[in-house]
Amino acid sequence: MWPLRVALLFNLSLSFLHFSLSDSVSSAVLGSSAKLICQFTPVVDAKNVEIRWFTRSFRPYVHQYKNGEDNYREQMEEFRGRTEFLKQDITQGVGTLIISNVTLADEGRYSCFYEFDNRQGEVHVELKVAAMGLNPLISIEDYQQGEITLKCESSGWYPAPAATWLDESGNNMKSSVEINNNENTGLFHVKTALRIASDSKVSCHVRNDLLGAGKESSVQFASSFYWRVDRSGISRFIMMAASVVVMVIVIVVTPIITIRFQRIKKLQSELGSLKSQVAKFWERVDGAWCKVDTRLGQVGEDRNRINIMKNCLCSNKVSVMLNRETAPAELQVEEGGKSVLRPTPLDPKPENMKEGFDTCVIGAERFTTGKHCWEVQIKDRFCSIGVTQGPQQSVVAMQLYDLSHKIQLGLERDQTYRLYVLLDYEEGSVTVFRADTLMYITEKKQFTGDVYPFFEVLSDQPITM
């Protein structure tokens, strides 16, 4: 048995126990810190735990804790410098993520993927963001026929608040409510109006149901206030003077005002039309930018795939032959050296995996420089393909039965796939990609000396060159 130092370290198992728990809800005030809690079975060694928080996709992620330390290499840009993972409670089965300076964009569903001791699972947390607005401002909007119209306004709320008027006894009063969203900040502005005809005390309440709290303002008018503004109390002299003033306005000022009013109305109409055109223009600009951003993301990914295909087309095409002398007795290599299988399948549990090459065979071709590409056809994803620097030397291989590799390449069980292995000796990289979708995985390692094709066989389905 030859010892094997594997450069790509993954603790993998086909028989992982997978748990997915229902969503829990966590709330946070805008600008403060949010706490997302992931609960799982207590563990003995925190260094053997991988905990990955993500939102829309497995990667890039919000935060990753692996091998006893935080990993920020593929963290989402909008969360950089704002996450902290609390490690002290991992052995009790709690992995807590702190997100500081919470924004409205942080609201949504978060997933916690954990993996340890042949077990894995997911916990989902729904983060809700809330904002408490300003104190309500009460003002007088109108007075007609002995009744006053009160207006109450408040801004800076999230989500949309509830607004009510209460009388002195705490009873709800009928009112109109208007709620608008500020496109720049995303916060809500609420306005409510009430008509009253008495000197009782009234209060305006604005409440955030998510936080279970709100703010209020109250006002009370003395009965003398109504007497002062009542038109029946105006003296006859004032009425006569007012009549004279009105006549002067009608005779002298009205024509001038009418002309200016018409001009103002025309300008307002033109301004409204201009605003409408500007709004439509910016809508088209926003839509175009969204399409450009989406396309740029697609172009970046397509460029990577095209570069991989270009490197493959420009590299030395190799027809790999298996070195039968490196194959253990458990593997069956066909006479032509172009196919290998394991008559007795091996379940890739850690207790079944042995040190050395009991499950491995290497190719006869030797590489010391340049770019080389060879084709491999598999009928079962329970295998590994890559390169090695020879017997008793290190290996760079993609374990296709690994969960993350399976997701990246889109592999399923009992399916036939045509894969390509691309070796760039000087660049120090090994890439495995699918011929039909160009989905790929790349690993880096600096090579010295000879490099050979490498195959790990765990299935009774053949690997064909």
The CA distance from 398 to 383, in Å, is 9
The CA distance from 175 to 163, in Å, is 9
For the stretch 41-62, pLDDT in tens is: 777 676 788 899 999 888 899 9
Cβ proximity of 100 and 84 under 8 Å = yes
For the stretch 226-269, pLDDT in tens is: 544 444 444 555 677 777 878 877 787 778 888 888 888 888 88
Domain 132-230 in CATH 3.40.50.1580: no
Cβ proximity of 179 and 190 under 8 Å = yes
Q: What is the pLDDT of residue 229?
A: 47
Confidence of residue 8 (pLDDT cuts 50, 70, 90): very low
Please indicate whether the domains covering 132-230 and 317-464 agree at the CATH topology level.
no
Mean pLDDT to the nearest integer, 370-384: 89
Q: What is the pLDDT of residue 313?
A: 65
Residue 4 has pLDDT above 80, yes or no: no
Q: What is the pLDDT of residue 19?
A: 45
CA neighbor of 135 nearest in space, from 151, 154, 152, 150: 154
Query: Nearest 5°: phi and psi at 298?
Result: -65, -40
Q: What is the pLDDT of residue 111?
A: 94
Cβ proximity of 79 and 99 under 8 Å = yes
Residue 103 has pLDDT above 90, yes or no: yes
Q: What is the pLDDT of residue 60?
A: 93
Per the DSSP assignment, residues forming a β-bridge with 36 are 97
Residue with tokens 């065979």: 361
Mean pLDDT to the nearest integer, 356-361: 75
Give me the percent of the chain exceeding a pLDDT of 70: 83
The strand ranges marked E within 100-136 are: 108-116, 119-130
Residue 81 has pLDDT above 90, yes or no: yes
**8-state DSSP, 251:** I
Query: Nearest 5°: phi and psi at 97?
Result: -110, 130
For the stretch 260-297, pLDDT in tens is: 888 888 888 888 888 888 888 888 877 777 776 666 65
More confident residue, 169 or 99: 99
Residue 354 has pLDDT above 70, yes or no: no
Does this model's pTM top 0.85? My answer is no
The CA distance from 21 to 433, in Å, is 33
Using only C-alpha atoms, the chain has a radius of gyration, in whole angstroms, of 36
Q: What is the pLDDT of residue 322?
A: 92
Confidence of residue 132 (pLDDT cuts 50, 70, 90): very high
Query: Strands of 137-144's sheet, edge to edge?
Result: 137-144, 147-157, 188-196, 176-181
Contacts (Cβ under 8 Å, ≥6 apart) of 450? 366, 367, 368, 389, 390
Residue 406 has pLDDT above 80, yes or no: no
- The token pair that represents 7 in the structure block: 């450069």
Q: What is the pLDDT of residue 301?
A: 64
Q: What is the pLDDT of residue 287?
A: 77
More confident residue, 77 or 276: 77
Sign (positive or negative) of CA dihedral 228, 230, 234, 239: positive
More confident residue, 4 or 287: 287
Q: What is the mean pLDDT of the chain?
A: 82
Mean pLDDT to the nearest integer, 383-408: 83
Q: What is the pLDDT of residue 5?
A: 35
Cβ proximity of 353 and 6 under 8 Å = no
Q: For the domain bounded by 17-130, which CATH number is listed?
A: 2.60.40.10
The CA distance from 89 to 301, in Å, is 38
Q: What is the pLDDT of residue 18?
A: 44
Q: What is the pLDDT of residue 82?
A: 95
Lowest mean pLDDT among 237-241, 378-382, 442-446: 237-241
The string over 396-410, giving b where at least 16 C-beta atoms fall within 10 Å of a residue's C-beta and e elsewhere, is bbbbbbbbbbbebbe
Helix-then-strand count for the chain, H and E: 4, 30
Q: How far is CA 435 from CA 338, 440, 457, in A?
A: 19, 10, 21
Residue 403 has pLDDT above 90, yes or no: no
Residue 131 has pLDDT above 90, yes or no: yes
Burial of 243 (0-12, 13-18, 19+ CB in 10 A): exposed
Q: What is the pLDDT of residue 128?
A: 94
More confident residue, 362 or 350: 362
For the stretch 206-221, pLDDT in tens is: 999 988 999 999 887 6
CA neighbor of 46 nearest in space, from 74, 12, 85: 85
- The token pair that represents 176 in the structure block: 């109109």
Q: What is the pLDDT of residue 261?
A: 80
Strands 34-39 and 24-29, bridge-based pairing: unpaired
Mean pLDDT to the nearest integer, 378-405: 84
Residue 11 has pLDDT above 60, yes or no: no
Residue 416 has pLDDT above 50, yes or no: yes
Residue 173 has pLDDT above 70, yes or no: yes
Q: H or E segment at 99?
A: strand 94-99
The string over 254-287, giving b where at least 16 C-beta atoms fall within 10 Å of a residue's C-beta and e elsewhere, is eeeeeeeeeeeeeeeeeeeeeeeeeeeeeeeeee
Q: What class, spelled out in words, does domain 317-464 have in CATH?
A: mainly beta
Contacts (Cβ under 8 Å, ≥6 apart) of 411? 381, 400, 405, 417
Cβ proximity of 186 and 156 under 8 Å = no
Domain boundaries, the chain: 17-130, 132-230, 234-308, 317-464
Cβ proximity of 278 and 270 under 8 Å = no
Q: What is the pLDDT of residue 249?
A: 78
Contacts (Cβ under 8 Å, ≥6 apart) of 155? 133, 134, 182, 187, 188, 189, 190
Number of neighbouring beta carbons within 10 Å of residue 119: 16
Lowest mean pLDDT among 76-85, 105-114, 352-361: 352-361
For the stretch 292-348, pLDDT in tens is: 666 665 666 667 777 777 766 667 788 899 998 888 888 889 878 899 998 888 766
Give me the percent of the chain exceeding a pLDDT of 90: 33
